[in-house]
Amino acid sequence: MVFSQETFNLEKGSNQKSKAKYDKAKNHVLNCIKNKSFGFIEDLYSKNYNEIFSTVNKLKKFDNVIFLGTGGSSLGGKTLVSLVTNFFLNISKPKIYFIENVDSSSILGLLKNINLDRTACVVISKSGETIETISQFFLILNQFEKKKISIKKKFFVITEDKESSLKDIQEEKKLYFLNHPDSIGGRFSVFSVVGLLPASLVNFNIKKFCSGAKDFLSEIEHGKKFDYFFLPIFNLIKLYEKGVNMSIIMPYSDSLQNLSFWYRQLWAESIGKDGKGITPINSLGTVDQHSQLQLYLDGPRDKFFTIIGERKRKKGAKIDCRYSKNKTYTNLHKKSLDTLLEAEMMATIQTIKNKNLPIRVLILKSLNEKQMGSLMMFFFIETIFSCFLLDLNPFDQPAVEEGKKLTKELLKKRK
Of 167, 150, 168, 149, the closest CA to residue 158 belongs to 167
Please confirm, yes or no, whether 269 is among the known catalytic residues. yes
- In angstroms and rounded to an integer, the radius of gyration of the C-alpha atoms of the chain is 23
Catalytic pick from 17, 112, 224, 290?
A: 290
Burial 54-92 (b: 16+ CB within 10 A, else e): ebbeebeebebbbbbbbbbbbbbbbbbbbbbbeeeeeee
Of 216, 228, 167, the closest CA to residue 6 belongs to 228
User: Distance (Å, rounded) from C-alpha 60 to C-alpha 274?
Assistant: 46
Element (H, E) at 349: helix 337-354
User: Distance (Å, rounded) from C-alpha 344 to C-alpha 309?
Assistant: 11
Please confirm, yes or no, whether 404 is among the known catalytic residues. yes
CA atoms within 13 A on the CB side of 344: 20
Strand-pair partners of 158: 124, 178
- CA–CA distance from 8 to each of 11, 106, 279, 351, 354 (Å)? 9, 44, 20, 12, 10
Catalytic pick from 269, 310, 369, 382?
A: 269
Q: Which amino acid is at 369?
A: E
Does 286 sit behind a cis peptide bond, omega within 30 degrees of 0 on the bond before it? yes
Give the torsion sign (CA, 177, 180, 186, 190): negative
Neighbours of 162 (CB within 10 A): 11
Does 94 sit behind a cis peptide bond, omega within 30 degrees of 0 on the bond before it? yes
Please confirm, yes or no, whether 290 is among the known catalytic residues. yes
Catalytic pick from 333, 334, 404, 408?
A: 404
Please write down the long-range contacts of 397-400, taking CB distance under 8 Å and 24 or more positions apart.
397/269, 398/273, 399/272, 399/273, 400/269
Q: Which residues are known to be catalytic?
A: 269, 290, 404
